[in-house]
Structure 1
Amino acid sequence: MSFTLKPLAALLIAAGVAACSTPAISHESGALLAPQTDTPLAKTHSEEVAVLSGGCFWGVEAVFEHVKGVKRVWSGYSGGSAATATYDQVSDGDTGHAESVKIIYDPAQVSYGQLLRVFFSVATDPTLLNRQGPDVGTQYRSAIFFNTPEQERVAKAYIAQLGTDKAFDDPIVTQVVPLKAFYPAEAYHQDYARLHPDDRYIVVNDAPKVVNLQRYFPDIYRTQEQVVSVQLH
C-alpha cells in the first residue's frame, strides 16, 4: 500500500496550515544544497545504519520510508537507557531519550549525506530547540546519532556548510552525538502514518513532509513505501 495524501491534507497544505512543521528554508526551491562533504556511493550493495531524531518519529519515519535506497525504517528511542525506553516514560521528557528513527540503507544507492539533506530539507526544522510543530520537550529535539567517525565528519561538515550558506533564517541547533543504542518503539508506533492516514495529526504535521519529499527530491522519491513489519531488529 502506498502513502496517499488525503483530500483534507491537500486542503491544509494549500491553506498553509502545516507551516509549523516546515523548516524555514531560505532557498526558493525548498531543497537544500547537497553536502560538499559526503561519502561516495559504494561499489557494492550492503547495509548501513543511520539514526536521526527530528520531532515525532511518525513523520520522520514516513519520509524515509519513501526514499530510494532505504531498506527498512523503525521508530524508537535513542539517548537514554534501556530501562526507560518506553513511550510512557519517554513522553515525560526526563529520560534523556529522543524519539528517533533507525534507517537501514544501501550505501550503493543513497549516501549518508543525501539522507541528511532529506532530513534537513523536509523531515525536521533544525532551528527549533526541543520542539517540532505542536510537540514540545527534549524528547522531540533534533539530533543526529552517528555510529562511525565518517558519519560524524559528514554531519558536522554539512551543518557548518548550511550555516555558511545561511540556508535557514535561524541558527541550526541539531545535536551531533554518538549513538549508544537504539531501542525500537512499541509495535503500534511502527508505520503509523501509513496505517493511520486520516489521523488529524498525520494530516496536518506529517503528510506535508512526504509531499515535500516528492516535490523537492523526485529523483530519490518512491511512491511505494519500504514498509517494515512489527518484527523489530
Structure 2
Amino acid sequence: MPIRPVPLALLAAVGLAGTTVLLTLPRGEAASAAALPPPPAEVVRPAGQQTAVLAGGCFWGMEGVFEHVRGVVSVTSGYAGGTRGSANYGSVSSETTGHAEAVRIVYDPAKVSYGQLLQIFFAAAHDPTQVDGQYPDRGPSYRSAIFPQNDAQRQLAAAYIAQLGKAHAFPKPIATKIETGTFFPAEAYHQDFMRRNPNNGYIQRWDKPRLARFKAAFPQLYVG
C-alpha cells in the first residue's frame, strides 16, 4: 500500500446521544467544526447476532477500529463488490475487479446497534468525503461504501446519509455509496493485521489514528 503525504485537518465535534467530543479528522482543508448527529432510531432492533459489511479504505484500519467496539463479536477483512474469482489481493490491487477492501462485522444488536456502527464508520473509522480513495491509498478498491445485508440496513443507511447531507455534517459532499455484493474473506495474512503488527509503519501513520479517534469520540462503546 503506497504512502503519500495527505494534509491533516482541523477539528470536528462528534456527538453521540447528546455527548460532544473533539477529534482530529484527516484531510479537509476547509473543515469547520460541526456536530455529527446520531442516526435515525431503528424501528425494530433484530434479535440474535447480525452482520454488517462496510468499506472505508485499507481494511487493516477498519478491522482495527471495529474489533474494539462493544458488542462486536468478530471482524473479518475481505473484499466486496466483485466476483469470487477476483477476490484476492493481487487482483483487487489492479483496480479492475469492482471489489472494495471491506470488513465483515458480526455484532450483538443487544449491545450495539447497526446505527451506532454507522455512526462510528462516518465519524471516526474513515473520511467519507474522499472519492475513490482513502488517505494515501488511491483507487476504487479503497472507496467508501456500505453493503447492507437486508432491507432494514439499506433503509437506515440511506436515511443516515441523507440526514448527514442535510445537516452539512462534513465540509465536502459525502462520497459513500450504498452497494450490493457478496463479501469474500481476504488472505490469512491480512486478518488481525493491526493487532499482530502494531509497529508497522503504515499502521502507525494511518490506522492507529483511526482507533484513537474512535476511542476519544465513543468512550462508552470502546473496549480494549
**TM-score, normalized by length of structure 2?**
0.85
The offset of 1:201, in angstroms, is: 0.5
Distance 1:149 1:219, change over 3 A: same
Equivalent residue number for residue 61 of structure 1: 63
Q: Please show how residues 1-233 of structure 1 align to structure 2 within 5 Å.
A: 19=9, 22=26, 24=28, 26-27=32-33, 32-42=36-46, 46-178=48-180, 180-223=181-224
Query: Structure 1, unaligned stretches of length 5 or more?
Result: 1-15, 224-233
Structure with bigger helix share is: 1
- Mean Cα displacement is larger for which, 144-153 or 18-27? 18-27
Between 1 and 2, higher relative CO (CA 8 Å, sep ≥ 6) is seen in 1
**Deviation digits for residues 5-44 of structure 1 (CA, Å, limit 9, x no counterpart):** xxxxxxxxxxx97659736564456xx22112435545x5
Q: Between Structure 1 and Structure 2, how many residues are aligned?
A: 203
CA distance in structure 2 between the aligned counterparts of 1:153 and 1:28, rounded to whole angstroms: 24
CA distance in structure 2 between the aligned counterparts of 1:130 and 1:208, rounded to whole angstroms: 21
CA distance in structure 2 between the aligned counterparts of 1:48 and 1:119, rounded to whole angstroms: 17
Equivalent residue number for residue 18 of structure 2: none
Determine if contact 2:34/2:170 at 8 Å carries over to the other structure: no
Identity score, percent: 48
Moved over 6 A (4+): none
Distance 1:78 1:56, change over 3 A: same
Distance 1:161 1:26, change over 3 A: farther
CA distance in structure 2 between the aligned counterparts of 1:97 and 1:21, rounded to whole angstroms: 26
**TM-score, normalized by length of structure 1?**
0.82
Determine if contact 1:142/1:174 at 8 Å carries over to the other structure: yes
Equivalent residue number for residue 17 of structure 2: none
Distance 1:192 1:21, change over 3 A: farther
Query: Structure 2, unaligned stretches of length 5 or more?
Result: 1-5, 10-23
Structure with bigger strand share is: 2
1:33 alignment partner AA: P
Determine if contact 1:58/1:75 at 8 Å carries over to the other structure: yes
The offset of 1:83, in angstroms, is: 0.5
CA RMSD of aligned residues (A): 2.0
